[in-house]
Each structure stands twice: as C-alpha cells, then as structure tokens.
Amino acid sequence: MKKKIKVAFQGEKGAYSHLACLEVFPNIESVPCPTFEEAFQLAQDNPEYKIVIPIENSLAGRVADIHYLIPKYKLQIHAEHFQKVSHNLLGIKGAEIKDIKTVRSHSQAIGQCKKMILQNKLEPIIAADTAGSAKYISAKKDKTESAIASVLAAKIYDLDIIKKNVEDESGNVTRFFIMANETKHPETKDKKYITSCIFKLKSVPAALYKALGGFATNGVNLCKLESFSVKNTFDQVNFYIDIEGHIEDPQLQKALEELGFHTEKLDVLGVYEANNFRLTNK
C-alpha cells in the first residue's frame, strides 16, 4: 500500500485550505493546525511534512502574515495551486432558510456574501474561520444558526447545504503554495516556470530602479512585485517577486546577478512549474 503524504494546513478540517490539500494530493494524511505559524514550524521540524498555505486571494488580496513567515522559516516553494472558492450557507439537518436568524463565518467570507445576508435579514457573527463555524453550529444543533463554509465542511460536520454559491461575485480564487523543508528545483524542460524571491534593497537612492533594470535589459518578465515592511521599522521594506522563467535560464541568472548588486539580502524561495490556471486565465 502506498504511504500517505503528510500535509499540514491552517484551520479546521473542511477549510478551503483542506480542500486545496485534497485537490493537490488526493491520498494524504491531513493535519489541521490552529495557526499559520504552527504549520510552518511543523514542516521546518519534520522534513516528511508538506504544507499548503494560501498566499493571496483574487478579491481580498494577500493573506496577512505569510510574507513574514516565509523568510522566517525558509521553507521552499515546490508548487503553486489555484483554488476556486465557492461559499455555501450551511445549517443543521432539517433547517430551512426561514428558520435561520444568524450566520457565522470568517470575516472575509461574511464580507463576500453581503447580498445574501441582507436579503435574508441574517445577523452576521465573525468567527476565526469558515470550517470552525461549521463545526460550531453542528455541535450547537440550533436551527436558527447557520454558517458560511465549503461543501467539504458540510460533509465533514453532517450539515445541510441550504443555499449554494452565496458569494456576491463569482470567480473568487485563492492562490496556494505547496512548501516543504527540502530544497529542490525541477529540471528545466519545455514548460513554463516561476522563480520566486524575497529581497531587501541597499538603502541608497534609485536602488529599486537599478535593481529592476536587470530584468528589463535581459528580457525577463516579472509577474508580481510586492513590498512589505520589515518588522519593527518604518523606513525599510522587503520586496517579494515572481519571475517568469527557470533559475537555470541564462538571462534570468544575469537579471538576478544584477539584482544582487543592489540588495542587502536576496533569498530564492523556490522554482516551480507555472500552474495551468495561470496559463489559461491571462
């Protein structure tokens, strides 16, 4: 019998991160963690574990704290995954929409389902996460209480799906990283790759302009550039970049070499195949 892959995620079972784990690795031993940091710590201490971590959402933007945890724990990105997020209104068995008075979920899920909440005159209750909300109402067994969560959460906690796809906007997608303690780069083939890095510039005039110039002169495309503050300072920032191409590409190597001249620190976070979602949704 094939040994199950051990994969950790943040949240309760039934969370969208759990759903992403199952889509990437159908045969897994899934390990829920209360916080993102505990998931990172688990993978750092146990090389046999992988983690599936949300990095950004198409509606809500980047996920708080992840940009700080990545350089702290120095795990490597092995792959990316794009997970469609479909919110559902869940209730206990036999509950109907006319019975419900309150709806519980994560703040982002509540914010993304405002129309349904207003139309049905529900009282929103902010909770730590979506799946935890489903678990809570399952235990309470109160027909007046509901949760916004995934279909997987409904199945795990034996809840009825009262309304499907209750989000205000369709096309809600979360990008995840599959990360682990092992440093490995795929062999370069006739495929599209992404190389991800974090760097801190030298504190001199025009440092960012000069640092990015190497990508222009070498014909290398950046598909993401983000800044985020260095903790406990207001005058320095780190930059996160996604670069189209494999780190073994000569032109990309030249661009990174030029970037290195203008940085105090440069960490390559991973080299991985571009997900098909990225290629088909340009």
Residue 282 burial class via C-beta count within 10 angstroms: exposed 0-12, middle 13-18, buried 19 and up: exposed
- Pairing relationship of beta strands 88-91 and 61-62 according to DSSP bridges: unpaired
- Pairing relationship of beta strands 76-84 and 88-91 according to DSSP bridges: unpaired
Please give the single-letter amino acid code of residue 39: A
Residue 174 annotated in active site: yes
d(CA 204, CA 13) in angstroms, rounded, equals 48
Choose the catalytic residue: 9, 25, 40, 176.
Answer: 176
Instruction: Output the six-digit token pair for 180.
Output: 């682990």
DSSP-assigned letters across all residues of 108-171: HHHHTTHHHHHHTT-EEEEES-HHHHHHHHHHHT-TTEEEEE-HHHHHHTT-EEEES---SSS-
Choose the catalytic residue: 9, 25, 36, 174.
Answer: 174
End-to-end CA distance of the chain: 40
The phi, psi pair for 235, rounded to 5°, reads: -110, 5
Residue 177 annotated in active site: no
For the four alpha carbons of 27, 29, 33 and 38, in that order, the dihedral sign comes to negative
Q: What are the catalytic residues? A: 174, 176
